[in-house]
Amino acid sequence: MKFSVGAKIWACLGAVLLILLIVAAVSYQNTQKLTQTAIWRAHSFEVQVALTGLLSVLQDAETGQRGYLITGEERYLEPYQTAVRNIDRAVQSLKDLTADNPAQQRNIEALRAPIKDKLDELKETVDLRRAQGFEPARQIVLTDRGKQVMDEVRRQITGMQAIESELLRQREAAMTASSENTLWVILGGATIAALFVIAAGYFLGRNISGPLRDITVTAEQIGGGDLTVSTPTNTVRTDEIGMLGRTFHAMTGKLRVLIQEIREGINVLGTAANQIVTITAQVAAGASETATALAQTSATMEEVKKTSQVSSEKALYVSETAQNTIQVSQSGRRAVEQSIDGISKVREQIGAIAEAVMQLSEQGQAIGEIVASVNDLAEQSNLLAVNAAIEAARAGDQGRGFVVVAQEVKSLAEQSKQATAQVRTILGDIQKATATAVLAAEQGSKAVDTSVKLSVEAGEAIERLSQSIAVATQAATQIAASNQQQQVGIDQVALAMENIRQASVQNLGATKQAESAAQNLNELGHKLKAMAVQYRA
């Protein structure tokens, strides 16, 4: 077979799909015909309804005319008037509905004349009844002209209805034929498709399932350990089934060779595994002893390392303490210098205060002289006021106003004397305070001189202490550096010993893993040997 399995399956599916497409196309075409026929059928019904409606309009007009002729009441003309208004619209609607039928168009045009005659006859009788009474109108009705025209209208409408009925019958027949054709096409197509599917299933089952079943049986036998079974091959088939059979046959041959080689390799593997187990056991014992010795050495180095760390920490502490002491002495020296500068500034400020107090004392004396002058002026003003009062008394009524002024001047003089007395008292207090301040300033200046002397002596002592501490700090720093170098060396030795110990532990673990792996390998060799025995090559 030159076609692939996929091509065969697609060919079968394509054939079924083609049949289904043909059935669908024919069914669609017939369905379109059915739809169109149903539309025309509904159209025929609509035309018949329009014809019946037209006849009904004329009958309504005739009914209204008869009622009016008999009663003479205008209300009976309502059906007639409605019919007259609607008759033209009914005729035009019927003409529009039959626009596709020339014969019906001609019939409608022929129907216009009798309809007009009927309406004229009805109008004539109505007008006569309204104008002349019942009898003249009855005479026109008795001529049967209106009946003849109405019979002609009925005849033509009946003929048009017959035409539409015939069209309706033809369209119903066409609809029935289309329905039957569609049914037969669907049934025939479904039958053909079913038969083709059955044939395709038989062909695919015989062409694909059979060979696959043979290969499956062979695979089950090989899975059970029987490699001596003959594998099915088909050198004629070129599709996937043939390729699968040939490939399976080649795989079975290679599997036989592989099993034989595995058996030989398993034997070699068993011998090598036994040797590896013996060697790894010896190496593991030596590695265990080495690890124990290294652990003891590492413990000793750890103790030495801790002792060195304690010594280094003490040296660093002494060095840091000396450094802090130097910083403190330098801070003290700077503080003494700042104190000397501050005391000098205080001495200058005390001198300035003393000078200001002296100036204040001198100004207080000047104010005392001014107050004395003001007091003298107040005494003189008082005497003048007394004299003025005496003179005003002598003047009589003319001196009364001057008496008031003299009294006011006297009062002001008394107030001035009181104020000068208060000012003199205050100046006395100020002069006492000024003398006290001058004395305090002199004592403060002496105390400042003493403080400056003491601060200079303290600065010199701190300087000598700082030099001694600097020497001690240098020695402590050298000791700390030596201890640090010793600590680095000890750390390096300890690190090296730790690395050696870890390497020894890792070697011991690796040796044990190798020993375990060798044992597992030995067990695996026995298992593989037992498994290989199950296959018969």
How confident is the model at residue 82, as a pLDDT? 92
Q: With respect to CATH, is domain 256-533 assigned 3.40.50.1980?
A: no
How far apart CA 261 and CA 254 sit, in angstroms, is 11
Confidence of residue 42 (pLDDT cuts 50, 70, 90): confident
pLDDT at residue 158 greater than cutoff 90: yes
Amino acid 322: pLDDT:
59
Question: Among 35-39, 107-111, 184-188, 489-493, whose mean pLDDT is lowest?
Answer: 489-493
pLDDT at 191: 92
Q: What percent of the chain has pLDDT over 90?
A: 10
Nearest to 350 by CA among 254, 458, 444: 444
Question: Residue 2: what pLDDT?
Answer: 61
Q: Residue 175: its pLDDT value, please?
A: 82
As a whole number, mean pLDDT of residues 443-451 equals: 75
Model confidence pLDDT, tens digit, residues 455-482: 778 678 667 867 765 775 676 577 567 6
Whole-number pLDDT of residue 336: 58
- Averaged over 265-285, what is the pLDDT? 73
pLDDT of 318 strictly over 60: no
Tell me phi and psi for residue 217, to 5 degrees.
-60, -45
User: How much is the pLDDT for 305?
Assistant: 72
Mean pLDDT of 128-153: 88
Quickly state the pLDDT bin for 537 (edges 50, 70, 90). low
- Interval 163-207: pLDDT, tens: 989 988 988 888 888 888 888 988 888 899 889 889 888 877 777
Q: How many angstroms separate the CA atoms of 20 and 28, rounded?
A: 12
So what's the pLDDT on residue 235? 59
CA distances 25 to 17, 18, 20, 42, Å, are 12, 10, 9, 26
Percent of residues, the chain, with pLDDT higher than 70: 80
User: Three-state SS for 226?
Assistant: strand
Residue 499, pLDDT above cutoff 70 = yes
What span, in angstroms and rounded, lies between the C-alpha atoms of 68 and 59? 14
Mean pLDDT of 90-115: 90
* Phi, psi for 228 (deg, rounded to 5): -85, -5
CA angle 491, 495, 500 (to 5 degrees): 150
Q: Which of 16-30, 97-111, 301-315, 442-456 has the highest mean pLDDT?
A: 97-111
Contact 94/51 with Cβ under 8 angstroms? yes
Mean pLDDT of the chain: 79
* Residue 449: per-residue pLDDT: 79
Distance CA 12, CA 408 (A): 150
Quick count: other Cβ atoms within 10 Å of Cβ 36? 14
Higher pLDDT, 422 or 312: 422
Provide the pLDDT for residue 384: 76
Q: Is the pLDDT of residue 1 over 70?
A: no
pLDDT of amino acid 297: 60
Cα(318)–Cα(315) distance, integer angstroms: 5
Tokens of 529: 């040997």
Task: Report the distance separating Cα 207 and Cα 198, nearest Å.
Answer: 14
Whole-model pTM over 0.85: no
How many Å apart are CA 283 and CA 475, to the nearest integer? 54
Which stretch of 102-106, 169-173, 338-342, 346-350 has the lowest confidence by average pLDDT? 346-350
Nearest to 301 by CA among 134, 448, 493, 115: 493
**Amino acid letter, residue 288:** S
Segment 308-333 mean pLDDT: 71
Tokens representing 151 are 């019979």
Torsion angle (degrees, nearest 10) of CA 227, 228, 229, 235: 100
